Amino acid sequence: MPATLIQTNETPFKSVEVDPINLDIIENALRNARAEMDAVLFRTAMSPGIREQHDAFPMLANQDGKMVVGQFGSFFHGFVSGYHGTIEEGDVFLTNDPYSCEGAVSHLPDWLTMMPIFRDGRLIGWSAMFGHMTDIGGKVPGSLPTDAASVFEEGIQIPPIKIYKNGELNSEILELILHNCRLPEWNRSDFNAIIAALRTGERRVNEIADRFGDDAFVSAMEEMLDRNKRAMGQIIQMIVPEEKRYFEDYVCDDGMGYGPYKIACTLWREGEKAIFDFSATDPQSNGSINFMLNEEMFKMFLGAFVINIFDPQILFNDGFYDLVDVRIPEGCILKPRKPAALSCRTHILGRIFDIMGGLLGQGAPEALNAAGFSDSPHFMYSGYDKNGEWYQLYQIGFGGIPGRPAGDGPDGHSLWPAFTNVPNEFLETYFPLRIERYATIPDSGGPGLHRGGNGISIGYRFLEPGEVSIHDDRWLTHPWGVNGGLPGGRSDKLMVRKDGSEEYLPSKCDHVKVEEGDILYFNTWGGGGWGDPLKREPAIVAKDVERNLVTIDGAKLYGVVVSPDFSVDEAATKTLRERMEAERPDIELFNFGGTVEELKARCKADTGFEPPQAPVFGVRQFVGQAPATAAQ
């Protein structure tokens, strides 16, 4: 049975014409309400993941659940598919189970809440928010096990439930959930902060409707959706061709010795509709890197990507969704079958942005970004301190943003533009560690006319015995360069023990024991370069050397000879550039740093690790089912 909406007033809203000035006022009021929801959450949550890094996403939607303002796209369709009860005034719904909401959230640490907003007994809209909880149980602290073989190893699963009914908290269910978490008070605080954010959105919606009238408010939201659809329709006509384009990229490994895994997409347009077909993508993994890519979520990624490139003034919402058709075969790594593990899906999530750039840029190379969003590295550190109290850190790392048509990629930035770093002072105050290094990695950004952003090196000195988990990628494959730009540098993780011994750690690992005095150097990847590096102004290269963004040797990849005093040797530079231009092969649109086979062949020499084995599909999670293939 589908969800049943209970309204005490069945009178439908009337469609009315909204004055353009009032429309702009309502739009900006909703934008501000969304921003206020964030502010309430960030100021009242406890976990650094939400409080400091802002790993949470708000939404205000119309009565049909279409996001009008927000960041992460509509959750409503997936929620309704998994909820079969009533929707009434005073209810608040909670879920974290991707399999129960068609991937509206994509791994268990993300708690999704939704609140229907009623006016005089009629549903007028929705307020929604999800936030990443530092822990929700499971086999490892942080609930992101790299070696999980099923979702049942990853923590408590919450199907869509009423956590509030008629305005009353179902405290017994909440206590049951918190009992399964390692940091129940953090989760409780973060949950209450999320609820406060929902109520802030509800209050602001009611205030706007009070001012302009219910019918005008509903009609304004419809017009805001329609405006987005018209704008996105024009962009789709410009950038999506009728002939098919293909692009593929890879996640390096699954943390269990297998990889790389291919994500492939074919793009074309039929009339006004853009088609994204992922049929050539690899089957689901036996590890935890599977990504439940909800089709609506992919449309959100697409909208955010193209709006920021073409016109950031366009209000990002769900209005254009019926102009996009997303085809993801069941059983592939982007739509795994239950109970496939999902906790480490961030690697593929990041790679989706690189794939969109590679697809959409082929027809307009001058507007093509290099690769470099690529991933969202995670670091976890936990244990008992000298007082016997449990400590647990979950932190998102940053990498290099790709070189772009407009200029260099930022150094050490987040995959998500709204994320911020956890201040080192916060880390050192609340956790038993000291930050020994926090710096960009010279030469990690791919050389180009516009340099790729450098990765970040963070040195964590541990002050208490404990264990760490590491989640990252791009240790085998490079963030690729475009239009003559060179690939970005790859990631690595170096542990320096207190006795001076050194060990490189895999990019995905759990239960790494650390002692007081050990240091982990968490080094992330750089962004790919954009354009011919031989055309970059020598003076700019010299300035990069002076700022320690590029080394003197690295400057030679731009054909620039820089002296120790940071001046350019003009004659030597001219000679070097002429020789490099004569000797290099023809410039190609993409530079991957080699084929997958070539990268695997030189893997140990480059990284110190054995190359991953070819993935084995259909072994564990397909018990009782036929193995999935990309053709299914």
Whether pLDDT at 630 is above 80: no
The domain spans of the chain are 4-232, 370-532
Whether pLDDT at 114 is above 70: yes
Higher pLDDT, 167 or 297: 167
**pLDDT at residue 76 in the model:** 83
> What is the distance between the alpha carbons of residues 490 and 441, in angstroms, rounded to a whole number?
11
Q: Are the CB atoms for 352 and 374 separated by under 8 Å? A: no
DSSP string, 159-200: -SEEEEETTEE-HHHHHHHHTTSS-HHHHHHHHHHHHHHHHH
What confidence tens digit (pLDDT) does each residue in 284-324 have?
999 999 999 999 889 988 998 888 878 888 888 999 999 99
> What is the distance between the alpha carbons of residues 443 and 303, in angstroms, rounded to a whole number?
32
**pLDDT at residue 626 in the model:** 33
> What's the average model confidence in pLDDT over 84-103?
95
Whether pLDDT at 632 is above 80: no
Q: Are the CB atoms for 248 and 357 separated by under 8 Å? A: no
- Rounded to the nearest integer, the mean pLDDT of the chain is 93
Residue among 102, 96, 126, 100 at smallest CA distance from 114: 126
Whether pLDDT at 133 is above 70: yes
> What is the distance between the alpha carbons of residues 327 and 267, in angstroms, rounded to a whole number?
10
Longest Cα–Cα distance of the chain, Å, equals 83
What confidence tens digit (pLDDT) does each residue in 47-67 have?
999 999 999 999 999 999 999
**pLDDT at residue 82 in the model:** 82
**pLDDT at residue 80 in the model:** 80
**pLDDT at residue 71 in the model:** 76
> What's the average model confidence in pLDDT over 3-11?
94
Task: Say if pTM beats, i.e. exceeds, 0.75.
Answer: yes
What confidence tens digit (pLDDT) does each residue in 168-188 have?
999 999 999 999 999 999 999
Neighbours of 345 (CB within 10 A): 24
> What is the distance between the alpha carbons of residues 89 and 565, in angstroms, rounded to a whole number?
70
**pLDDT at residue 627 in the model:** 33
pLDDT tier for residue 622 given thresholds of 50, 70 and 90: very low
If residue 301 lies in a helix (H) or strand (E), which one and from where to where? helix 295-310
Higher pLDDT, 73 or 278: 278
Residue among 120, 119, 4, 128 at smallest CA distance from 61: 128
Phi-psi region of 305 (alpha: psi -120 to 50; beta: other; left: phi over 0): alpha
> What is the distance between the alpha carbons of residues 303 and 231, in angstroms, rounded to a whole number?
11
Residue among 268, 297, 432, 287 at smallest CA distance from 359: 268
Q: CA 352: distance to chain centroid?
A: 9
**pLDDT at residue 212 in the model:** 98
DSSP string, 606-623: HHSSPPPBPP--SSSTTT
**pLDDT at residue 625 in the model:** 34
> What is the distance between the alpha carbons of residues 197 and 276, in angstroms, rounded to a whole number?
34
**pLDDT at residue 311 in the model:** 83
- Structure tokens given for 332: 């592939």
Q: What distance, in Å, lies between the first and last C-alpha atoms of the chain?
A: 28
Q: Are the CB atoms for 591 and 485 separated by under 8 Å? A: yes
**pLDDT at residue 72 in the model:** 67
Whether pLDDT at 408 is above 80: yes
Angle between the N-to-C axes of helices 20-44 and 214-239, in degrees from 0 to 180, rounded to the nearest 10 = 90
pLDDT tier for residue 258 given thresholds of 50, 70 and 90: very high
> What is the distance between the alpha carbons of residues 77 and 147, in angstroms, rounded to a whole number?
31
Higher pLDDT, 586 or 417: 586
What confidence tens digit (pLDDT) does each residue in 325-334 have?
999 999 999 9
What confidence tens digit (pLDDT) does each residue in 183-204 have?
999 999 999 999 999 999 999 9
Q: Are the CB atoms for 296 and 104 separated by under 8 Å? A: yes
> Residue 245: is it exposed, middle or buried by C-beta count within 10 angstroms (0-12/13-18/19+)?
middle
